[in-house]
């Protein structure tokens, strides 16, 4: 049988015995929401940076929190790009996840809008303020209040998502809200308030990361390394070719160039050096580790999670560190 198979090889180079044709790569399925911070993923896809690094990536837009949780819990998704505080919540629900890459840091893109009579953060005491509970806006508010000697219990929370909170403020239904762009800019445009505080004054509070299922970390390490390399290249492309990059992102998010440009000012993409700072070295841990502890303290205090774990349980620095 072996000799017969060898005789047939010239006639069946593509499909015969002992064919060396490579099997199709199974794509890594990543869930994204509509957020400018995730734009470089679409740049990497459009410019072929994933292919260059021998990885296929299936970018899936899933906007709903419940749908995202179900998709990552069931293995329908291999990973999701979201904030670190969101990952802590998902891990607490028993979903085995690891953070492997830093994506972007909010640099003024999130904040608190308030009516003009609320001149300082301390003036929020006893006031109604709209924000989504258990989400980045909640953690940002917790942090800002804490640094100004207040607690969430000192204000009157009005639960609603960040877009609804911004719209409610703009329409005059609420005196303060934790939201993001473009609602921060609209606070002045509608003439009834101002931006009280933003993430730019509290750097490192809202950090978007890529987290993947534990089994993907164990079985698809080469593919994950390829994704990180492609991300680095995409971020450099954004820096050197901003107009083309914005056009790619605008197409992906169905946003015009003016809107894309406005959103750019509120974030900082984490490039190679940013990731090295985020994950640190074997001798000195990066800033994600203390941030993880701060998030857990906040979420336990706010009863968002029921128990704590260690940052090393939820953060896997090996992929970034091996590329130093």
Segment 191-219, tens digit of pLDDT: 778 999 999 999 889 999 999 999 999 99
What is residue 226's predicted lDDT score, i.e. its pLDDT?
97
Considering just the CA atoms, what is the radius of gyration of the chain in Å?
A: 23
Question: Which CATH superfamily does the domain covering 110-201 fall into?
Answer: Periplasmic binding protein-like II (3.40.190.10)
Strand intervals (E) in the chain: 28-32, 57-61, 79-83, 97-106, 110-114, 128-131, 156-159, 176-180, 194-198, 207-213, 267-269
What is residue 259's predicted lDDT score, i.e. its pLDDT?
80
**Same fold yes or no, 28-105+206-321 and 110-201:** yes
Rounded average pLDDT over 245-274: 90
Rounded average pLDDT over 272-279: 97
Segment 86-106, tens digit of pLDDT: 999 999 999 999 999 999 999
- What's the pLDDT band for 21 if we cut at 50, 70, 90? very low
Checking if the pLDDT of 73 tops 70, the result is yes
Segment 283-316, tens digit of pLDDT: 999 999 999 999 999 999 999 999 999 999 999 9
What is residue 7's predicted lDDT score, i.e. its pLDDT?
35
Give the least confident one: 51-65, 68-82, 180-194, 274-288. 180-194
**pTM score, whole prediction:** 0.87
The CB density around residue 136, as the number of other CB atoms within 10 Å, is 25
Task: Give me the percent of the chain exceeding a pLDDT of 90.
Answer: 76
- Say if domain 28-105+206-321 classifies as CATH 3.40.50.1000: no
Checking if the pLDDT of 10 tops 50, the result is no
Checking if the pLDDT of 113 tops 90, the result is yes
Contact indicator for 58, 29 with CB cutoff of 8 Å: yes
List the chain domain ranges: 28-105+206-321, 110-201
What is residue 260's predicted lDDT score, i.e. its pLDDT?
85
What is residue 24's predicted lDDT score, i.e. its pLDDT?
59
- What's the pLDDT band for 138 if we cut at 50, 70, 90? very high
The CB density around residue 200, as the number of other CB atoms within 10 Å, is 18
What is residue 188's predicted lDDT score, i.e. its pLDDT?
73
Contact indicator for 228, 101 with CB cutoff of 8 Å: yes
Segment 34-46, tens digit of pLDDT: 888 999 999 999 9
Rounded average pLDDT over 110-131: 95
């Amino acid at each position: 049988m072996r000799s017969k198979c060898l005789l047939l090889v010239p006639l069946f180079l593509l499909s015969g015995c002992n064919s060396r044709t490579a099997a199709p790569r199974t794509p890594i399925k990543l869930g994204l929401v509509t957020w400018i911070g995730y734009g470089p993923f679409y740049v990497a896809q459009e410019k072929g940076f994933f292919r260059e690094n021998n990885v296929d990536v299936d970018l899936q837009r899933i906007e709903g929190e419940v749908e995202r949780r179900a998709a990552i819990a069931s293995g329908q998704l291999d990973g999701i790009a979201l904030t670190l505080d969101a990952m802590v919540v998902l891990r607490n629900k028993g979903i085995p996840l690891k953070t492997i890459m830093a994506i972007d840091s909010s640099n003024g893109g999130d904040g608190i809008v308030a009516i003009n009579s609320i001149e300082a953060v301390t003036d929020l005491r006893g006031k109604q303020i709209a924000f989504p509970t258990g989400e980045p806006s909640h953690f940002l508010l917790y942090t800002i209040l804490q640094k100004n000697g207040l607690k969430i219990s000192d204000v009157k929370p009005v639960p609603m998502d960040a877009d609804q909170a911004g719209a409610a403020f703009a329409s005059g239904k609420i005196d303060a809200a934790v939201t993001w762009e473009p609602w921060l800019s609209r606070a002045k445009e509608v003439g009834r308030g101002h931006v009280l505080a933003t993430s730019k004054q509290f750097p490192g509070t809202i950090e978007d990361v890529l987290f993947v299922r534990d089994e993907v970390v164990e079985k698809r390490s080469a593919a994950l390394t390829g994704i990180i390399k492609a991300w680095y290249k995409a971020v450099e492309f954004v820096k050197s070719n901003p107009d083309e990059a914005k056009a790619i992102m605008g197409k992906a998010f169905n946003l015009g160039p003016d809107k894309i440009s406005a959103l750019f000012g509120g974030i900082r993409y984490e490039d190679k050096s940013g990731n090295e700072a985020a994950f640190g070295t074997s001798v000195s841990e990066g800033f994600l580790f203390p941030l993880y502890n701060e998030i857990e303290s906040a979420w336990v205090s706010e009863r968002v999670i029921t128990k704590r774990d260690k940052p090393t349980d939820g953060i896997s620095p090996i992929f970034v560190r091996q590329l130093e």
